[in-house]
Amino acid sequence: MMRPLLLLPEMLLAGGALAALIGGSFVPRHRQWIIRIFTAIVLVATIVAAAIQIRSPATSAFDDSFAVDTATGIARILAASGTLLILAIAADEIAGSARESETYALLLFSTAGTVLLAGANDLLALAVGFLLASIPLYALIGLAHTGAGAEAAMKTYLMGALFGILLLLGVTILSGLTGTTGYAELADRLAGAPKAAVTVAAVAVIGGLMFKAGGVPAHFWVPDAAQAATATAATFLTTVPKIGALVAVYRLATVLPPSSWPLLVAALAVASMTLGNLAAYWQSDPRRLLGWSTVSQVGFLLVPIVAAGRSDLALPSLLVYLTGYTATNIAAFAVSAALPERRDLTDYRGVAAERPWLAAALLVALLGLVGTPPAAVFVGKLTTATAAWDGGYAWLAVVVFANSVLSLFYYLRWIVPTYRQPNPGNPDGGARGPSGDEQVRPWSPRLAVTAAAVSLALGVAAGPLWALVTGP
């Protein structure tokens, strides 16, 4: 059934992206803030439209190719809200630059692809969402205009091309085996398909989606991009695309035969958690550390998907975790964006003495990513571990706990110098700009404090949040 208004949030994002791209060509560089305000209005309208629809009964649009349900609604709100918050970093970093309006258009296009991924109920819609979410990222990373940025953009492009082909291979196999691309028909017809072929297809499609999620084995681009891209792009690519990718993996998992995917997803979860944590421990650049932290967080987010179909807690716990992670990860990156010249963990020495609110936001964000109460990620980790236990994967819950403890040690490598006294010869404790005074951006510190406060508020209000994600 054709009901286009059900896709109003997606139409707002795509239409807004086109308007920002074209309109930016007619706005003088010193007035590009107009496009930023326009982008913010589009995102707010998207959030409002999604919030209105979320309490309606679950339905679908365009011949069941796009699901309009609680998961899609939460993904829409999170993706648009995350991009809206990231505009504060953009206001500090790219205001008045030559590619400001193009950046906003790319952010909106990729956000539209993210929500399309989240609601995809058809293999072809999944492929389109993957491409729409991926292609703008290559340009966003390359906008850094540095050698490292160009290298990161090329690595991301090559990885995206490789795993995009892998995803399309899986789509081809599944549609060839069943003669359909719709998830409803796939669920019925895959039961009689050859198990080996279905398993190969599941590996291909889930592996392709791991590129968007930033998890093993498609994770290699994430630390480089987080380190070399602009703070705006780095914050976006480590936060927003994961929302759509992980909801898409969950939807696909509920369609595939149980014999073809749980062990694969469990292996990817353990590998992402463990590798991300171990690699992050040795990093000295805060953004690269957060890049590896992102890889490990994907592992935690995959845990409830393993329990899909075996525990009623699987989907709600995934959505709660994604909600907490969005606010907490943005807070951590906003701190690094607020102090752009401090590109080593030791440069943060004395920040607490000079900027206590910024240091407090960093403390909340990093301990929140560990899973310390009352931050929202704690609720996410607790419920995902419970879902794994309830689904018969008690060993996976133990792995979640062990990796959470392991992650504390490398986050402490950033927290400890922040709360040390400044060096006597340098009261600011860190890098300084050409004039001798350190550059401190105005909007990013406010974003860091706001996002950290949201993370705490979501953790404290976990009850209403859980009621929301469980649907009407």
**Is the CB of residue 186 less than 8 Å from the CB of residue 260?**
no
**Is the CB of residue 354 less than 8 Å from the CB of residue 360?**
no
* d(C-alpha 132, C-alpha 126), whole Å: 10
SS3 category, 120: strand
Q: What is residue 391's predicted lDDT score, i.e. its pLDDT?
A: 93
What count of other Cβ atoms lies within 10 Å of the Cβ of residue 51? 15
User: What are phi and psi for residue 159, nearest 5 degrees?
Assistant: -65, -40
- Which residue, chain included where needed, has tokens 């606010």? 327
Q: What is residue 227's predicted lDDT score, i.e. its pLDDT?
A: 96
Q: Where are the domains of the chain?
A: 1-260, 269-472
- Give this prediction's pTM: 0.95
What count of other Cβ atoms lies within 10 Å of the Cβ of residue 382? 19
Element (H, E) at 110: helix 100-119
Q: Is-cis flag, bond preceding 374, omega within 30?
A: yes
Q: What is residue 2's predicted lDDT score, i.e. its pLDDT?
A: 54
Please choose, from the candidates 289, 268, 265, the residue with its C-alpha nearest in 3D space to the C-alpha of residue 218. Answer: 268
Q: Which residues of the chain have pLDDT under 70?
A: 1-4, 424-440, 472
Give the long-range contacts of residues 312-317, CB within 8 A, separation 24 or more.
Answer: 312/390, 313/383, 313/386, 313/387, 313/390, 314/250, 314/387, 314/391, 315/71, 315/250, 315/469, 316/383, 316/466, 316/469, 316/470, 317/380, 317/383, 317/384, 317/386, 317/387
Amino acid at 52: I
**Tokens read off for 287:** 């953004």
Q: What is residue 434's predicted lDDT score, i.e. its pLDDT?
A: 39
Residues 95-123 as b/e (b if ≥16 CB within 10 A, e otherwise) read eebebbbbbbbbbbbbbbbbbbbbbbbbb
CA-CA-CA-CA dihedral for 397, 398, 404, 410, to nearest 10: -140
**Is the CB of residue 441 less than 8 Å from the CB of residue 91?**
no
Q: What is residue 14's predicted lDDT score, i.e. its pLDDT?
A: 96
Q: What is residue 259's predicted lDDT score, i.e. its pLDDT?
A: 79
Question: Residue 339, Cα to own-chain centre: how many angstroms?
Answer: 22
Longest CA pairwise span in the chain (Å): 73
Residue-by-residue DSSP string for 48-96: HHHHHHHTSPPEEETTTTEEESHHHHHHHHHHHHHHHHHHHHHHHHTTT
Q: What is residue 302's predicted lDDT score, i.e. its pLDDT?
A: 97
CA-CA-CA-CA dihedral for 339, 342, 344, 345, to nearest 10: -50
**Tokens read off for 339:** 């102090």
